[in-house]
């Protein structure tokens, strides 16, 4: 969405966060709002994006900005939900509307996505849907499995406050990689990657990260573009090979190893 807004002349990727959100980012880090019993306390809280950023900034950063990885300049890299929340706040400032309105105008309508929405403050999923289960980040074998189907999606905002179908996600990723969403200049920026540490989400230490998209090394000589996403009780992966073969999967549990998923992905994209 930021790349589309850049193409429209609404902003530049060289803009600083401070230009759009003066005083919002003061340079500090992160905590989990929904770990263990915290989930019940916060289940129906309606968080504002600013509140989420303030909670993150109450903790030390993983590294200083000058240590970051840039094209042609290896350095530190780490995935950050907080960064995506800040990006959503910039989108609202640049468009003069809500994040949901921007998603509708820039993505849902152009692609004809009939099963995709930004749910706002509603804790409920549209029917039909699966129940969603979580151990709420507790790793012990005896950790309680809880039904977390309903909770306020405001805790995710632009880092994951979205409901969709596997068909719509397939459409989005295939159109994106086929160059049907972005002009050539922005498409090149999208796919201009830096090295990652493979420390979070699905992937390995040789993966690379572009602007909101990851280049996964599945095995030697076999790569695919895509991303993973998780909120309590729901984990989704979507992958595509140059926009031609696309695979999206979701599971209604957010703990444990994903060996079967990994095997399915390798079989689909790399052959037996």
- Cβ atoms 133, 146 nearer than 8 A: yes
Confidence (pLDDT) at 69: 66
Residue 261 has a pLDDT of: 87
Using pLDDT thresholds of 50, 70 and 90, give the confidence band for residue 27.
low
Tokens of 160: 């994951």
Supply the CATH number for residue 229's domain: 3.40.710.10
Strand partners, 163: 117
What is the DSSP-derived secondary structure letter of residue 146? E
Q: What is the strand order of the sheet 208-209 is part of? A: 194-195, 208-209, 214-219, 222-231, 234-241, 245-251
Alpha carbon 68 to chain centroid, angstroms: 19
- Work out the pLDDT band at 46, boundaries 50, 70, 90: very high
**What integer is the mean pLDDT of 17-37?**
74
Domain that holds residue 89: 2-270
pLDDT tier at 58, thresholds 50, 70, 90: confident
At 28 the pLDDT is 46
Number of domains in the chain: 1
Q: In sequence order, which residues have a C-beta less than 8 Å from that of residue 87 and are 6 or more positions away?
A: 2, 158
5 DSSP assignment = H
- If pLDDT is split at 50, 70 and 90, which confidence band does 29 have? very low
Beta partners for residue 123, in sequence order: none
Alpha-carbon distance of 93 to 58, in angstroms, equals 24
Helical ranges in the chain per DSSP H? 2-7, 17-20, 38-42, 49-56, 81-95, 99-103, 109-111, 166-177, 184-190, 259-270
**pLDDT digits over 226-259, tens only?**
999 888 899 999 999 976 899 999 999 988 878 8
Q: DSSP assignment, residue 68? A: B
pLDDT greater than 90 at residue 165 = yes
- CA distances to 16, 213, 224, 257, 260 from 130, rounded to whole Å, are 41, 27, 28, 20, 20
The owner of tokens 């690379």 is: 208
Residues whose CB is less than 8 angstroms from the CB of residue 18 and which lie 6 or more positions away in sequence, other chains included: 25
Please name the helix (run of DSSP H) or strand (run of DSSP E) that holds residue 247, with its range, or none. Answer: strand 245-251
- In this predicted structure, the answer to whether residue 96 has a pLDDT above a threshold of 80 is yes
Q: Nearest Cα to 78, choosing from 203, 240, 241?
A: 203
Query: Cα angle vertex 70, ends 239, 199, to 5°?
Result: 50
């Amino acid at each position: 969405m930021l790349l589309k807004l850049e193409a429209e002349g609404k902003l530049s990727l060289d803009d600083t966060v401070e230009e759009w959100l003066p005083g919002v980012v003061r340079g500090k880090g992160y905590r989990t709002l929904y770990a263990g019993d915290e989930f019940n306390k916060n289940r129906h809280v309606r968080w504002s994006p600013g509140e989420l950023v303030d909670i993150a900034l109450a903790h030390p950063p993983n590294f200083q900005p000058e240590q970051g990885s840039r094209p042609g300049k290896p350095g530190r890299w780490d995935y950050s939900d907080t960064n995506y929340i800040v990006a959503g706040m910039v989108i609202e400032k640049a468009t003069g509307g809500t994040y949901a309105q921007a998603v509708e105008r820039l993505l849902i309508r152009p692609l004809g996505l009939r099963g995709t929405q930004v749910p706002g403050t509603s804790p409920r999923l549209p029917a039909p849907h699966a129940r969603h289960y979580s151990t709420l980040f507790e790793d012990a074998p005896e950790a309680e499995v809880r039904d977390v189907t309903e909770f306020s999606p405001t805790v995710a905002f632009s880092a994951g406050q979205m409901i969709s179908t596997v068909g719509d996600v397939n459409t989005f990723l295939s159109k994106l990689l086929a160059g049907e969403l972005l002009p050539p200049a922005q498409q090149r920026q999208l796919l201009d990657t830096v090295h990652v540490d493979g420390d979070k989400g699905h992937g390995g230490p040789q993966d690379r990260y572009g602007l909101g998209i990851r280049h996964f090394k599945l095995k030697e000589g076999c790569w695919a573009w895509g991303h993973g996403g998780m909120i309590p009780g729901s984990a989704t992966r979507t992958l595509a090979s140059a926009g031609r073969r696309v695979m999206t999967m979701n599971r209604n549990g957010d703990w444990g190893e994903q060996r079967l998923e990994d095997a399915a992905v390798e079989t689909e994209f790399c052959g037996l």
